[in-house]
Amino acid sequence: MTKANVGFIGLGLMGQGMAANILRKGWPLCVMAHRNRAPVDALIAEGATEARTARELAEHCDIIVLCVTGSPEVLSVVEGPDGIAAAGKPVTIVDCSTSDPSVTTKLAADLAGRSMTLIDAPLSRTPADAAAGTLDVMVGGGDEDVRRVRPVLECFAGRIVHTGPTGTGHTMKLLNNFLAMGYAALYSEALMLGRKAGLTPEVFDSVIRGGRMDCPFYQTFFRWVLERDRNAHKFAIRNGFKDMSYLAAFANASGAANPIGAAVRNAFAQAVGAGRGEDYVPMLSDFIAEANGIR
């Protein structure tokens, strides 16, 4: 079977591992550089080609995977002057970013009128899973469209869940991240309160680890708390704040009250406002401790 030409935009912490797996599993791959040339050069050395613009990439590709920060970046690479849509040809766009579902559904409708297809396929797990090809992927799109791109997704995914029509993948991703960022805020506040009472993180961990409240997210979070492993969970606080802001917009549009979501968002907003947005999520525990007079 002849494999489709695949394009990839967004070679960051997650994207570089994903793109490497697509290439190594035999798909013709074309990539586009942004800020960091190192992953581009590494992929070219393995056989990928490079496009100068998103439009040029679309002219040579049938399926394009996006792994950028969020909706503004997606709109820029799709609808910008030299964007994907400017190529004027049928192409399937697979948006693996964490985006605003309302933006996703509107963009999908706009692109459909130009014979282009948008599928949302956001991710769960870590950059290490991206490199290992074991990410979880939540896919929103029509049955036939999802069937067509599934072999590409399988290059970097260990689990693929078809959530429904386009937009539902991004909605499910926001809910997934709500749980994750909620845990991060809970752990951070609980650790701070424990320290106020003289309980060390080691004592806290000895009670939680192996019990009903233990989970893989807890374990990566506490690799920073206990071991100061910066690579334990490489997801920036500013991205957590962005995702919780998308969740707030979704709740507002739905007419739903989400007081817990607002509290989680505020924990991240305070850290970003204090200049800690580039810290990784487990480091929220340090910020909340310091804000309460604990070092």
pLDDT tens column, 232-261 = 999 999 999 999 999 999 999 899 999 999
- Whether 6-165 and 171-291 share one fold: the answer is no
- Rounded to whole angstroms, the Cα distance separating 98 from 238 reads 13
Q: Please confirm, yes or no, whether 89 is among the known catalytic residues.
A: no
What is the predicted pLDDT for the residue at 33? 83
- Rounded to whole angstroms, the Cα distance separating 165 from 140 reads 5
Say whether 149 sits in a helix, a strand or coil.
Answer: helix
What is the predicted pLDDT for the residue at 137? 98
Indicate the pLDDT class of residue 216, thresholds 50, 70 and 90: very high
- Rounded to whole angstroms, the Cα distance separating 53 from 64 reads 13
Indicate the pLDDT class of residue 90, thresholds 50, 70 and 90: very high
What is the predicted pLDDT for the residue at 34? 76
What is the predicted pLDDT for the residue at 63? 98
Per-residue pLDDT reduced to its tens digit, 152-161: 999 999 999 9
**The CATH fold of domain 6-165:** Rossmann fold (3.40.50)
Token pair 């050069």: residue: 41
Name the nearest CA neighbour of 139 among 176, 168, 104: 168
- Rounded to whole angstroms, the Cα distance separating 166 from 58 reads 21
User: Which pTM does this prediction carry?
Assistant: 0.90
Indicate the pLDDT class of residue 1, thresholds 50, 70 and 90: low
CA contacts within 13 A on the Cβ side of 52:
1
Average per-residue pLDDT for the chain: 95
Superfamily of domain 171-291: N-(1-d-carboxylethyl)-l-norvaline Dehydrogenase; domain 2 (1.10.1040.10)
Token pair 């870590």: residue: 126
- Rounded to whole angstroms, the Cα distance separating 237 from 266 reads 12
What is the predicted pLDDT for the residue at 283? 98
CB 99 within 8 A of CB 126: no
Domain boundaries, the chain: 6-165, 171-291
Q: Among residues 25, 106, 173, 234, which one is catalytic?
A: 173
pLDDT at 35 over 90: no
Indicate the pLDDT class of residue 295, thresholds 50, 70 and 90: confident
Name the nearest CA neighbour of 162 among 144, 133, 137, 179: 137
Indicate the pLDDT class of residue 228, thresholds 50, 70 and 90: very high
Q: Which segments within the chain are labelled E, that is strand?
A: 6-9, 29-32, 49-51, 63-66, 92-95, 117-120, 123-124, 135-140, 157-164
Per-residue pLDDT reduced to its tens digit, 106-138: 999 999 999 999 999 999 988 889 999 999 999
Average pLDDT score over residue span 37-41: 92
Name the nearest CA neighbour of 156 among 136, 175, 185: 136
